């Protein structure tokens, strides 16, 4: 790729990100309920209303998008969560459906395990990030390219939950450190995780003589006890959780939109 084309691609993705952030901030169904309860006995519905949240929304508010995302943060604990989902189907790459489903798990396992390296690609993070992997612990740290000694997030080795005989599989990338994650004194290495899941089935086609197709739902989540530094933890004022939801959380959704697209490309060309 020549230099002019490279810079052109970077500019296109940069403006897509700016457009996304601008539209998402104007989303009509963003919940903005920060009210103190006057009753000692608050219901579960009241607690839900008092939780800063966004979504679920289609990407860029486009109804045609098959990518959906939502995010929230618990003001009492400072724990953030998000969920991104995409669905698609394609002609299966093997003669039998079970063999094709096993290939989904195999390819997803390899692709997700390299998520930090994928995130550091110039096309994704505009050349601003780099990674470093510890040979002993096998942990990978995301760092700013021009401040290589500043760890942003550290991921532990990927864990896989599932069986080749089942149509679903779960993948967990634990977050073990970094400036963007607040630590826990009791569990210093428990900083939440990135959680992924694939659920594959055979698609129902009207023409029985056509080549079989697979239908797959891909899900990614911020799960566990992830406390973003921007949100400030449970003792922070009400502004900081919204600062997180309107900045880092939206950048994360954009990144996951890109990741799901790349994930789909990998799955549909497996051999």
As a whole number, mean pLDDT of residues 135-154 equals 92
Element (H, E) at 221: strand 213-223
Residues above pLDDT 90, as percent of the chain:
37
Please give the pLDDT value at position 270: 60
Q: Of 136-145, 221-230, 261-270, where does mean pLDDT reach its minimum?
A: 261-270
Question: Residue 56 above 70 pLDDT?
Answer: no
Number of Cβ within a 10 Å radius of residue 168: 18
Please give the pLDDT value at position 99: 79
At 72-125, the pLDDT tens digits run 998 888 899 999 999 888 877 666 667 777 888 889 999 999 999 999 999 999
Question: Residue 181 above 50 pLDDT?
Answer: yes
Ramachandran category for residue 19: left, alpha or beta (phi over 0 → left; psi -120 to 50 → alpha)? alpha
Please give the pLDDT value at position 188: 64
Asked if residue 45 is part of any domain, the answer here is no
Kindly give the interhelix angle for 97-113 and 248-268, rounded to the nearest 10 degrees: 140
Please give the pLDDT value at position 233: 76
Asked if residue 101 is part of any domain, the answer here is yes
Give the Cα separation of 102 and 153 in Å (integer): 31
| β partners of residue 144 | 129
Question: Residue 15 above 70 pLDDT?
Answer: no
With 0-12 CB in 10 A as exposed, 13-18 as middle and 19+ as buried, what is 239? exposed
What is the residue-averaged pLDDT of the chain? 77
Task: Name 124's Cβ contacts closer than 8 Å, sequence gap at least 6.
Answer: 13, 118, 255, 258
As a whole number, mean pLDDT of residues 202-212 equals 65
Asked if residue 175 is part of any domain, the answer here is yes
Please give the pLDDT value at position 13: 52
Asked if residue 85 is part of any domain, the answer here is yes
| Residue 251's pLDDT band (cuts 50, 70, 90) | very high
- Of 224, 215, 220, 101, nearest to 166 by C-alpha is 101
- CB-CB contact of 162 with 196 (8 Å): no
Question: Residue 46 above 80 pLDDT?
Answer: no
Asked if residue 166 is part of any domain, the answer here is yes
Asked if residue 48 is part of any domain, the answer here is no
Give the Cα separation of 154 and 175 in Å (integer): 6
**Predicted model pTM:** 0.77
Range of the domain at 83: 3-26+54-268
- CB-CB contact of 227 with 37 (8 Å): no
Asked if residue 32 is part of any domain, the answer here is no
| Residue 31's pLDDT band (cuts 50, 70, 90) | very low
Asked if residue 97 is part of any domain, the answer here is yes
Please give the pLDDT value at position 240: 86
Question: Residue 130 above 90 pLDDT?
Answer: yes
As a whole number, mean pLDDT of residues 32-47 equals 38
Give the Cα separation of 13 and 263 in Å (integer): 18
Domain count, the chain: 1
């Amino acid at each position: 790729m020549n230099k002019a084309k490279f810079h052109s691609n970077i500019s296109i993705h940069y403006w897509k990100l700016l457009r996304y952030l601008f539209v998402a901030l104007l989303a009509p169904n963003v919940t903005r309920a920060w009210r103190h309860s006057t009753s000692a006995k608050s219901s579960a519905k009241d607690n839900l209303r008092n939780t800063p949240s966004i979504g679920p929304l289609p990407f860029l508010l486009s109804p045609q998008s098959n990518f959906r995302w939502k995010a929230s943060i618990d003001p009492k604990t400072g724990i953030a969560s998000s969920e991104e989902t995409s669905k698609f189907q394609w002609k299966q790459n093997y003669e039998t459906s079970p063999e094709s489903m096993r290939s989904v798990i195999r390819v997803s396992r390899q692709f997700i395990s390299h998520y930090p390296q994928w995130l550091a690609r110039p096309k994704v993070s505009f050349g601003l990030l780099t990674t470093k992997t510890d040979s002993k612990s096998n942990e990978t740290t995301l760092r700013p390219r021009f401040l290589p000694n500043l760890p942003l997030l550290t991921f532990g080795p990927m864990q896989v939950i599932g069986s080749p005989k089942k149509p679903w599989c779960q993948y967990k990338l634990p977050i073990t450190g970094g400036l963007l994650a607040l630590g826990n004194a009791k569990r210093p290495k428990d900083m939440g995780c990135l959680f992924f899941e694939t659920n594959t089935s055979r698609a129902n086609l009207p023409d029985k003589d056509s080549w079989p197709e697979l239908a797959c739902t891909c899900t990614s989540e911020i799960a566990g006890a992830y406390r973003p530094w921007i949100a400030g933890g449970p003792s922070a004022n009400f502004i900081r959780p919204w600062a997180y939801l309107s900045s880092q959380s939206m950048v994360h959704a954009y990144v996951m939109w890109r990741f799901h697209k790349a994930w789909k490309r990998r799955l549909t060309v497996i051999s």
